[in-house]
Chain A
Amino acid sequence: MNQDEQVKVLGLWGSPFSKRVEIVLKLKGIPYEYIEDVYGNKSPMLLKYNPIHKKVPVLVHNGRSIAESLVIVEYIEDTWKTSYMILPQDPYERAMARFWAKYVDEKVMVAMWKACWGPKSEREKETKEAYEGLKYLEKELGDKHFFGGETIGFVDIAADFIGYWLGIVQEASGVTIMTAEEFPNLQRWSKEFISNNFIKEVLPPKQKLATLLKAQFGSVTSD
């Protein structure tokens, strides 16, 4: 059976979680059909393929669905063992990649989001957490081109929010935590990340994203 058959991605154009899946499919040269879900209105397809969380992204491959972006990314890696691999071979290096991807997902992104759009009473605490989280990532990245080393890997893909969305979120919310002065490595990394030809193809347009964010979360800033 042709492995490339019937790959569908159910996503939202502005979602960094959704884009992680598209990024890895592009990097690995896997063709897919993209289906846009609807902001604020979960489609029947979404409810069918992800009844547990009712969230995008969902990958449908040969009629079977997988949910949770980082689980999907690892599934793609396991299924299409092409020349472009996003996880290292060594078990220890793999564990480290998973650790940092999880850290980005569960700590940094959450804290950043709450620092920018959360209840005002919590912003100071969340800003501190976001700052500390970014500092750990800055240190982990170091002089490397990417978290994955010479090429874009699992952690880079998990950190797509930091690479692209963060700048736009900071501008839209008026909250600045990641500055070029304090985070030179991350700044350099994000420029390289978004200039990758495959990644460029899937990133949402800046202005459209800023408008969406302001519409969705802007009203929360007055509290």
Chain B
Amino acid sequence: MFVPSGDSVPDLAGCTLLMPAVSVGNVGQLAIDLIISTLNMHKIGYFYIDCLVPMVGNNPYATAEENSAELSINAEVYALPSKKLVALQLRSIFIKYKSKSFCEKLLSWVKSSGCAKVVVLSSSHSYHRNDLQLRSTPFRYILTPSMQKSVQKKIQSLNWEEMEKTPCIPEIDDSEFCVRVPGGGITKLLYDEGCSKEIPIAILLKFVSEGDKIPDALGLVEYLNEWLQIIKPHCVDPTASSLPWKMPSSWRLLFGSGLPPALF
């Protein structure tokens, strides 16, 4: 359930909810971190639930000593009212068999809070690509029917590729086609729930393999930015020295502590 961190319940009517799917390479979560950090979104509450492994730590977006001591938990909600943006960040994995329950509770909150649409940032195993996908852009989008009505034209003008449907039962020739996102975590579940509950959901994903996913996360936020224009478009200037996206201070030591000098 959503628990506000302040004294009043924030008004989310008409906002766009950005959220990650805990998926291969954690690309969606890294992308949401970039968005929260760059836009300096402030925390408005917690999504307190028993479906995720518990985890706590100090403020991952700390910019100074003063704001480094705020405790963060595994599922928190941030907002930027000026752009009617709300971001939900998930920081741990789902407990087995609890994914469906999470999706149901989340979408029920989305409906009751009046969010206009949900954008899910996700990823899929790159080794599952077919020949056509190998030769094209690694980015894909999926829209629920209620989202298609409102954004189809805009998406088409961006020349984006829709996620290809695959046969539900590969062994049978005339099997029906359905949406599959291998390695996408709860992406498919959210899509199915969104379809049945008529919630406008757009899923933006990238085909990735495991490894250092920072470049992929940057790619995914740029892809999102083409549509939502969260920040001013990055000018294609090779002399521009700084990235428009700000990496959070918690992105240190992603691959462990320093090495013992005696090793060498």
- Binding between chains A and B: no
